[in-house]
Structure 1
Amino acid sequence: MIRKVRRLLIAVTGTMAALACTLALTGATAAHAAPKPTPAPAPTGVDITGDKLDEPLRLRTDSRSADVHLVIDQIKWLGATGQLRGPAAADLGPKYTVVVHVAAGPQRTYDLFPLAKGGPRVYRPAKQPDRSNLRAGWFLGRLNMPETLRSVGVPLPAQFDTLAGGIGGGERVLPEEALDPVGELDTALGELQRLLLLNVGVVLVITAGLAGIALLVRRRTR
């Protein structure tokens, strides 16, 4: 009985060891055979064309690396799909087309609308320079898009209501006129003057009413 148990244990142990070796070899072969994902090519520059630009604004990483990354940051976070319909054409404002270049040539193109009503917008067309199969779509842009484009050379008016930062946008802050102490003081004095005039008017009405009542009572008591 003991011998049979020993033989059974030896057989089970041998089978498990063989199975473990087989799984290890299979896993190693699969890991060796699995292709490594190809890293996305690094951008080498961007071209910007659009409203009030007489010629394309060409930015390259070898001379203006920081500016290239500022522009790339406006579109690199876009998802796979966007909204099918965007704002009305009358609400879009000036359009700027950004073409992203890699070592092999133009790769991506996007239409940026920094002054769109309701906030900046980005449109990604389905037809791309590298002939990749992407879905066309509209996306909300970062709130700092106008200032970013202006900082790299796009002729846009200065904006004072955004701060850079955060994925998908910036942070709204107080408008510049809200920080003007002289304007605030003038407004406060005007409000105080109107309040005083209103109080004087109320006092005069009450006084006239009391005088009328007193005169009426005096006449009836004679």
Structure 2
Amino acid sequence: MVRRMRRLISTVVGGFAALLLVLTFAGAATAAPKTPPAGVDITGHGLDEPLRLRAASHPEYVVAVIEQVNHRGLVRQSGGPKKADLGPKYTVVVLAGDVPKQTYVLYPKAVGGPRVFRPAKQPDRKISPAWYLGRVSMSETLRTAGVPLERTYEAVSGGAGGGERIIPEDALNPAQDIDEAFSELRRLLLLNVAVMLVITIGLAGIALLIRRRTR
């Protein structure tokens, strides 16, 4: 029985150690800077010619604009607003090198909040069309990147009906915010795992001690 308890403790400790290593390496991979796509082209209302942003010269703008169309972090809708409620339209084409890869349509002034539309016809394939709720920072992100939009006050707390604040120019870096959030989550997970490890070892030790005394 004692041998079994020792094997159990060794298995538990080994499992938690492996989990700690996985979380540590995963966190390091997340924190590592990611190379943004080559650039984005923006066309639409008020732009006489395409606004061409490239990672080589404006990496922060490229990352910020792409974050606006990253549908993994957006809420999908069954349908979009009425055409009359969409407001000015901006088409964003994401490039890999000089090759267009993805196309999205942004409506920063749509009634009820910004909207993102992913057309079925993409540069190199066809997919299912989809509508998404856009980020509240869409208008300011586009304006900072060079789109002729008026400065706005963005609601950033509590979603609809939340508080308001002015988003400064140097705060429009969604990629940095996501990295910070993952970093905090990683530290929290590591702390929880460490606590669980200590508790498990303690309980196993108590069980072993009780077993020895009752023999």
TM-score when scaled to structure 1? 0.53
Q: What is aligned with 1:162?
A: 155
After TM superposition, give the deviation of residue 57 of structure 1 in Å: 0.2
2:84 is equivalent to residue 93 of structure 1: no
Distance 2:134 2:58 in 1: 23
Change (3 A) 1:117 1:100: same
Q: 1:81 to 1:51 in 2, by over 3 A?
A: same
1:114 maps to 2:104 = no
Q: Distance in 2 between matches of 1:115 and 1:53?
A: 16
In the alignment, what sits opposite 1:139? Answer: 132
Contact 2:74 2:132 in 1 (8 A): no
Q: Distance in 2 between matches of 1:55 and 1:75?
A: 21
User: Does the aligned pair in 2 maintain the 1:143–1:170 contact within 8 Å?
Assistant: no
Any idea what SS the aligned residue of 1:63 has? coil
Q: Helix, strand or coil: the match of 1:62?
A: coil
1:148 corresponds, among 141, 144, 152, to 141
Work out whether residues 71 and 132 of structure 2, in 8 Å CA contact, stay in contact via their aligned partners in 1. Answer: no
What is the one-letter code of the residue matched to 1:173?
A: G
> TM-score, normalised to structure 2's length?
0.55
Matched, 1:43 2:37: yes
CA distance in 2, matches of 1:54, 1:96: 12
Q: Alignment identity in percent?
A: 52
Report the Cα offset of residue 161 of structure 1. 3.0
C-alpha distance in structure 1 between counterparts of 2:140 and 2:118, whole Å: 21
1:50-104 deviation line (CA, Å, top 9, x unaligned) = 0010000000000011100010010123479943421001100000000000026
| CA RMSD, Structure 1 to Structure 2 (Å) | 3.0
Structure 1: gaps (5+ residues): 1-40, 177-222
Q: Deviations over 1:99-158 (max 9, x none)?
A: 000026000000000000000000000110022x42101100001100110000011111
Alpha-carbon distance change, 80 to 110 in structure 1, aligned in 2, over 3 angstroms = same
- What's 2:8 paired with? none
- Paired with 1:105 and 1:171, the residues of 2 have a C-alpha distance of 41
> Highest Rg: 1 or 2?
1
Matching residue of 2:56: 62
Amino acid paired to 2:86: L
Q: Output the CA distance in 2 between the equivalents of 1:50 and 1:111.
A: 9
**Residues 142 and 170 in structure 1, CA contact (< 8 A), matched pair in contact too:** no
